[in-house]
Amino acid sequence: MYQNILSVVSTKGGVGKTTLTANLGAYLADQGYKVLLIDADVQPSLSSYFAINDVAEFGLQQLISNSTVTPEMVASKIEDNLDIVISDDPNGELQNWVKNTPDGRVRLRGILRQRFNNYNFILIDTQGAVGPLQEATVIAADKLISPVVPDKLSATEFLHNTTNMLNRLAESASWLGVEIAPLYALLNRVENTSVSKHYSEQIQQMGFEKVCRVPVHLCQTTIPRATVWNDAVAQQMPAHRIEKTSSRKTGSALEIIASLVEETNILGDRHV
Ligand SMILES: Nc1ncnc2c1ncn2[C@@H]1O[C@H](COP(=O)(O)OP(=O)(O)OP(=O)(O)O)[C@@H](O)[C@H]1O
Ligand SMILES: [Mg+2]
């Protein structure tokens, strides 16, 4: 079965990773694909984004560290096509496990590919900080998506630290016999202000091929700052179901997510 693992990463906190993971995952599930969300953040925001109907016995800790884990053990049910592995590591102990286990950084990649291939899409939400667990999720991915807010702090962080993190991992990955996936940078919380335009342009004009060993594509699709993304989390309802049409120039939540899916080619040639 066609399986695609997407990790939503950033070395900066608060840029929209959880929002994107939840809404993109729910959109793909509504398209008929079988989707697994994984909350790999110690602060379990994704775990409570949607209501869970059937809670599995275990969560992230067993997924990462139990070599005999099965989907039944860790996949909690949100809806028919949408499952989630919840974060159950409030003290961040998994970071040490990943760091101290010889195959720590590649285990998740192997487990997901071998045991979780009944899912078409696996979307991993990560913590906005560099660390062994974040590295394991980057190594596991077929595609990386990185939201970037066009303001000074977020743009600078992306241009320096996220690309550094990728370069460092690309070096190690080549020795591990794996390739780091291409990264799609997605401007999020874009505003109609001169500051927002300035930093959007700065990112657009960046020659990534000169500074990054991993292919970086800047998405044409951008996500505006809009209340629908806050409504989604408040109502525990995917944004594309709340906002199918909009008079906003930037399009509705449904149109934005559909355009992102198209542009990143995450469906490949497959259809349900
Ligand atoms: N396009 C947007 N417009 C308006 N608000 C947004 C948008 N994207 C995200 N937000 C809001 O910004 C806040 C941070 O988003 P989110 O939690 O998704 O970021 P994060 O990268 O996962 O943060 P953390 O690093 O803390 O996990 C949330 O309140 C979310 O509702
Ligand atoms: Mg988050």
DSSP per position, 162-204? IHHHHHHHHHHHHHHT--PPPEEEEE-SB-SSHHHHHHHHHHH
The arithmetic mean of pLDDT across residues 90-107, rounded, is 95
**In this model, does residue 272 exceed pLDDT 60?**
no
What is the rounded CA–CA span in Å between residue 97 and residue 176?
18
Question: What is the rounded average pLDDT for all residues in the chain?
Answer: 95
Query: Is the Cβ atom of 25 under 6 angstroms away from ligand 1?
Result: no
Q: Could you write out the DSSP letters of every residue in 146-160?
A: EEE-SSHHHHHHIII
Distance 17 CA to ligand 2 centre (A): 5
DSSP state for residue 127 in the 8-state scheme: -
Report pLDDT for 149. 97
> CA 118 → CA 33, 71, 98, 102, 206, distances in Å?
10, 9, 25, 27, 39
**In this model, does residue 58 exceed pLDDT 90?**
yes
Q: How confident is the model at residue 210 (pLDDT cuts 50, 70, 90)?
A: confident
Q: How confident is the model at residue 175 (pLDDT cuts 50, 70, 90)?
A: very high
Report pLDDT for 5. 97
Per domain, the residue ranges of the chain are 4-264
Distance 34 CA to ligand 2 centre (A): 22
Pick the CATH number of 4-264 from 3.40.50.300, 3.40.50.12780, 3.30.230.10, 2.60.40.10: 3.40.50.300
Q: What's the burial of 186, exposed, middle or buried (CB within 10 Å: 0-12/13-18/19+)?
A: buried
Query: Is the Cβ atom of 59 under 6 angstroms away from ligand 1?
Result: no
The arithmetic mean of pLDDT across residues 107-134, rounded, is 96
Q: How confident is the model at residue 209 (pLDDT cuts 50, 70, 90)?
A: confident
**Whose CA is closest to atom 25 on ligand 1?**
13
**In this model, does residue 271 exceed pLDDT 60?**
no
